């Protein structure tokens, strides 16, 4: 081989080796310092994509676990209120049974009715104030009626299996059909015009509206109007005679009752009709007071039994969902652990392997540096030829 200094092949090879070894050493040091085998896409292009998908699943699953636990807390809150309402219903049934005994006189039954009415109000209070994070649980889809629906997201995706639908029926006294003896609404601004042969009379204390005609047929003139404000809501009819309503006393009363039923603001008012007389009550159904009869007291007991059965069915359904969520949380926890393990095998650094690689790189770096120095020193022999 020719003795030359323009091209120091040995030095170039030693420098290239040092560069390569230095790169390997930096990679090992990065992995050891971060604990990750994949620190950028160039480390493992496919692994980056897989690890990203697994991260989405893991984070979604962990959030689903928290969702399920929050769902359990919501159900437990509702179920606790159900339990207290059941205690109230049991006491109400006890009062109804007590009132059915004729050892009680009118005063005794009045006192029993007073407690019954207070218990009914407490059911409504519990139903209206039982909430979870501001959401009403026992008030239903509408005020005091209907069913509230809650979707619990118990998976990280969008399929049907990732959600549980929980329905909680309203537990107000109206929804349970135990609204007490009832009280009349407030009547104001009542006017009747267009029919001199008829009249409309309102009894505020009894809560009745009586439609009366002086005609032998009992008819009102078509086109006559009647308007009244009931609890601040205006209800108005124009007397008609068609397929739906007649223009006699009973038909006009039925027309007015139908108009009341259209008003959402009056949904808590019950209306009963008899021979042209409407009786309006807020609440109604549990009459065990001084004017009650054996039949009305029996009706009260039966109504409370039905309410307790409805309540227990609801509690059983909620308990079943709560138990289901226990299994859901356990399964999701196992899934999250296994997903974490799979992700770790893809992107976590093997400290034993990387430590070995680092030690190897450090030794090779020292060796290549030494050889580079030797290669540079070897060209000094040319000087001896030049010195002569």
Whether residues 232 and 317 share a domain: the answer is no
Shared domain for 129 and 269, answered yes or no, is no
Q: Which residues pair with 183 in a beta bridge?
A: 282
User: pLDDT value at position 368?
Assistant: 81
Q: What is the mean pLDDT of residues 205-211?
A: 85
- Kindly report the average pLDDT of the chain as a whole number: 85
Whether the Cβ atoms of residue 198 and residue 216 lie closer than 8 Å to each other: no
Q: What gap in Å lies between CA 89 and CA 247, rounded to an integer? A: 44
> CA-CA distances (angstroms) from residue 80 to 68, 121, 217, 265, 327?
18, 18, 58, 30, 21
Is a pLDDT exceeding 60 seen at residue 244? yes
Average pLDDT value for residue range 313-325: 95
* Alpha helix (H) residue ranges in the chain: 9-34, 45-99, 106-129, 249-261, 294-347, 351-378, 381-387
Top-ranked range on mean pLDDT: pick from 194-198, 212-216, 242-246, 311-315: 311-315
The residue among 282, 311, 346 that closes a domain is 282
150 with 297, same domain: the answer is: yes
Give the residue, 93 or 349, on which the prediction is more confident: 93
Q: Which residue has tokens 């009914």?
A: 120
Confidence at 87, pLDDT banded by 50, 70, 90: very high
User: Is 175 found in the same domain as 78?
Assistant: yes
Q: What are phi and psi of 268, to 5 degrees?
A: -85, 0
205 in the same domain as 121: no
Q: Are residues 119 and 144 in the same domain?
A: yes
Determine the pLDDT at residue 331.
95
Answer yes or no: is pLDDT of 257 > 80.
yes
DSSP secondary structure of 238-273 = E---SSS--SBHHHHHHHHHHHHHT-GGGTTEEEEE
Co-location of 198 and 104 in the same domain? no
Q: What is the CATH number of the domain that holds 130?
A: 1.20.1330.10
Q: For residues 207 and 271, what is the distance between their CA atoms, to the nearest angstrom?
A: 10
Are residues 175 and 196 located together in one domain of the fold? no
Identify the sign of the CA torsion 48, 50, 56, 62: negative
Question: Does any domain span residue 192?
Answer: yes
Q: Which residues pair with 226 in a beta bridge?
A: 192, 237
My answer on whether 79 and 156 are in the same domain is yes
Least reliable range by pLDDT among 104-108, 166-170, 189-193: 189-193
* pLDDT above 70 (res 173): yes
Domain-embedded: residue 28: no
Please write the tens of the pLDDT for every residue from 6-55. 677 777 887 888 778 788 887 888 888 888 888 888 888 898 899 989 99
* Residue listed under structure tokens 């160039």: 42
Per-residue model confidence (pLDDT) at position 66: 96
Which of the two residues, 222 and 328, has the higher pLDDT score? 328
Q: Cβ(277)–Cβ(210) under 8 Å?
A: yes
pLDDT digits (tens, 9 = 90+) for 105-134: 999 999 999 999 899 989 999 999 999 998
Is residue 301 located within the same domain as residue 175?
yes
The full length of the chain comes to: 388
pLDDT at 142: 47
**Domain assignment of residue 349, yes or no:** no
C-alpha distance across the termini of the chain, in Å: 22
Q: Going by C-beta distance under 8 Å and a sequence separation of 6 or more, which residues neighbour residue 286?
A: 92, 96, 116, 120, 178, 179, 180, 181, 300, 303, 304
Judge whether residue 151 has pLDDT over 90. yes
Pick from 249, 282, 315: which residue ends a domain? 282
Q: Which CA distances in Å does 17 have to 118, 373, 379?
A: 92, 13, 19
Residue 80 belongs to a domain: yes
- Domain check: are 300 and 233 in the same one? no
Task: Specify if 5 maps to a domain.
Answer: no
pLDDT of residue 284: 61
Measured from the Cβ of residue 84, the count of other Cβ atoms closer than 10 Å reads 13
Burial of 20 (C-beta count, 10 Å sphere; 0-12/13-18/19+): middle
Q: Is the pLDDT of residue 236 over 60?
A: yes
Q: Determine the pLDDT at residue 112.
A: 94
| Residue-level pLDDT at 180 | 61
**316: confidence class by pLDDT, cuts 50, 70, 90:** very high
Residue 240 has pLDDT above 70, yes or no: yes
Give residue 254's domain range: 187-282
Highest mean pLDDT among 167-181, 282-296, 335-349: 335-349
pLDDT score recorded for residue 8: 76
What pLDDT is attached to residue 3? 67
> 376 pLDDT band (50/70/90 cuts)?
confident
Nearest to residue 169, comparing CAs of 28, 286, 311?
Answer: 311
- Residues 219, 200: one domain? yes
pLDDT cut 90: percent of the chain above it: 34
The answer to whether position 6 is within a domain reads no
Q: How many domains does the chain have?
A: 2
Within-domain flag for 314: yes
The answer to whether position 256 is within a domain reads yes
Residue among 305, 266, 300 nearest 117 (CA): 300
């Amino acid at each position: 081989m020719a003795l030359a200094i323009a091209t120091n092949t040995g030095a170039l090879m030693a420098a290239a080796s040092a560069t390569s070894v230095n790169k390997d050493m930096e990679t090992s040091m990065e992995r050891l310092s971060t604990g990750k085998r994949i620190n950028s896409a160039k480390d493992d292009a496919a692994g980056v994509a897989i690890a990203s998908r697994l991260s989405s699943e893991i984070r979604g699953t962990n959030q689903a676990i928290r969702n399920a636990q929050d769902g359990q807390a919501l159900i437990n809150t509702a179920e606790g209120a159900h339990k207290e309402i059941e205690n109230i219903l049991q006491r109400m049934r006890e009062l109804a049974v007590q009132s059915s005994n004729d050892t009680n006189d009118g005063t005794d039954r009045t006192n029993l009715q007073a407690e019954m009415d207070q218990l009914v109000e407490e059911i409504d209070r519990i139903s209206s104030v039982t909430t979870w994070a501001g959401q009403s649980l026992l008030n239903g889809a509408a005020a005091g009626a209907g069913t509230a629906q809650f979707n619990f997201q118990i998976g990280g995706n969008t399929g049907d299996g990732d959600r549980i639908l929980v329905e909680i029926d309203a537990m107000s006294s109206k929804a349970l059909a135990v609204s007490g003896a009832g009280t009349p609404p407030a009547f104001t601004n009542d006017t009747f015009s267009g029919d001199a042969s008829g009249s409309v009379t309102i009894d505020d204390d009894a809560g009745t509206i009586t439609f009366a005609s002086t005609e032998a047929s009992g008819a009102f003139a078509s086109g006559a109007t009647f308007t009244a404000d009931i609890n601040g809501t205006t209800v108005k009819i124009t007397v008609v005679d068609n397929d739906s309503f007649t223009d006699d006393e009973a038909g006009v009363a039925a027309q007015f009752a139908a108009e009341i039923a259209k008003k959402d603001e009056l949904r808590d008012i019950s209306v009963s009709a008899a021979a042209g007389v409407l009786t309006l009550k807020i609440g109604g159904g549990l009459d065990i007071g001084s004017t009650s009869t054996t039949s009305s007291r029996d009706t009260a007991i039966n109504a409370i039994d039905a309410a307790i059965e409805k309540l227990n069915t609801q509690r059983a359904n909620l308990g079943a969902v709560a138990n289901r969520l226990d299994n859901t949380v356990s399964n999701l926890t196992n899934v999250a652990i296994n997903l974490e393990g799979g992700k770790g095998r893809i992107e976590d650094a093997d400290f034993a392997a990387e430590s070995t690689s680092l030690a190897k790189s450090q030794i090779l770096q020292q060796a290549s540096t030494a050889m580079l120095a030797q290669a540079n020193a070897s060209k000094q022999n040319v000087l001896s030829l030049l010195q002569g």
